[in-house]
Structure 1
Amino acid sequence: MKGIPVTFIAYDGEEAVRKFRESSPRPQVMIMDYRMPIMDGVEAARTILSLEPDTKIIFVSADTGAREEAMKAGAAAFLEKPAGLKEIIDQVEKVMSQKSTIVK
C-alpha cells in the first residue's frame, strides 16, 4: 500500500530471531506482539536489538501491561490492539524517520 516491503513473517519469537539472523539485508523495522509461543516478544526484541541495535521494534499487543517492559527492552513504539492498518503504517513511517540514538 505504501511501498513498505515485508521481509518475513514469523509465528513465534524464536522463529522471528532466526529469520532476522538469516535476513540480508536485515529489516529496519519489525512489528511484534508481546505474547508469542516459545519466546515472547520482549525476549525476541532484546535478542534482535543485541544483534542490530538500530532496528526499530514496534509492539502491537492487547496486553497493555507489557508496555513498560517492551519499552525498557528497547521498543521504539507500543500500539494497543486492535490497531488499524493506517495507525500501524503511520507508526512505521514515524520510527523510520527517527535517527538512531545508539552510539557505536
Structure 2
Amino acid sequence: MTRVFIVEDEHMLRFFYTQILEENGFEVAGTAKNGEEAVSMFKEFREKPSVILMDHRMPVKNGIDSFKEILTIDDKIIVVFVSADSSIKKEELSLGVHSFKQKPFSIDYLISNIKSALDSSKSVVIP
C-alpha cells in the first residue's frame, strides 16, 4: 500500500485529504500542520512515505523550504505540491518537479496526479 504524508496548515483540508486518500486505497503515514513539523516528522518516520502531499503557503516554514530540506534526507521522495500560489511555478519546476496544475481541482484529479507522480517517480505541483 502506498504511504502518503500530508502537510497542510488548514485542519479541514488535512482531514479531507486523509479521508479521500484512505477511500482510494492509500495509507496516510501522518499529517503535519507546517513545514517545520513536516521535516521533523519525516526524520522520525521508521517507514518513510512514498509520497508527500504538501501545501506551499504555511506558517513557520513554507513548502519550498521544507521540500529542499526533506530532499537532503531522502533525494528520492516524491512530493505533490498543492497550492493556489501560482508564483511558485518557476521555482518548483527548477527543483525538478514533474508538472504544475491549477487549483481548485477535483478528487479524481488529485488521485490521478499522485498516481502519475508515483509512475514517473517525480514530484508534481498542483497550484
In the superposition, the TM-score normalised over structure 2's length comes to 0.71
Tell me, in whole angstroms, the C-alpha distance in 2 between the residues paired with 1:32 and 1:87: 15
Paired residues in the alignment total 100
Q: Which residue of 2 aligns with 1:95?
A: 117
In structure 2, runs of 5+ residues without a counterpart are: 1-22, 123-127
Report how far residue 32 of structure 1 moved: 0.8
Question: Which of 14, 17, 21 is equivalent to 2:36?
Answer: 14
Change (3 A) 1:3 1:36: same
Q: Which residue of 1 aligns with 2:16?
A: none
Q: Which residue of 2 aligns with 1:81?
A: 103
In structure 1, runs of 5+ residues without a counterpart are: none
Change (3 A) 1:53 1:94: same
Q: Which has the higher strand share?
A: 2
Tell me, in whole angstroms, the C-alpha distance in 2 between the residues paired with 1:33 and 1:99: 19
Equivalent pair of 2:78/2:121 in contact (CA under 8 Å): no
Structure 1 residue runs of 4 or more that deviate by more than 4 Å after TM superposition: none
* Percent identity over paired residues: 31
In the superposition, the TM-score normalised over structure 1's length comes to 0.86
Report how far residue 99 of structure 1 moved: 4.4
52-61 or 77-86, which deviates more? 77-86
CA RMSD of aligned residues (A): 1.6
19-28 or 64-73, which deviates more? 64-73
Tell me, in whole angstroms, the C-alpha distance in 1 between the residues paired with 2:96 and 2:81: 10
Report how far residue 14 of structure 1 moved: 0.2
Q: Which residue of 1 aligns with 2:84?
A: 62
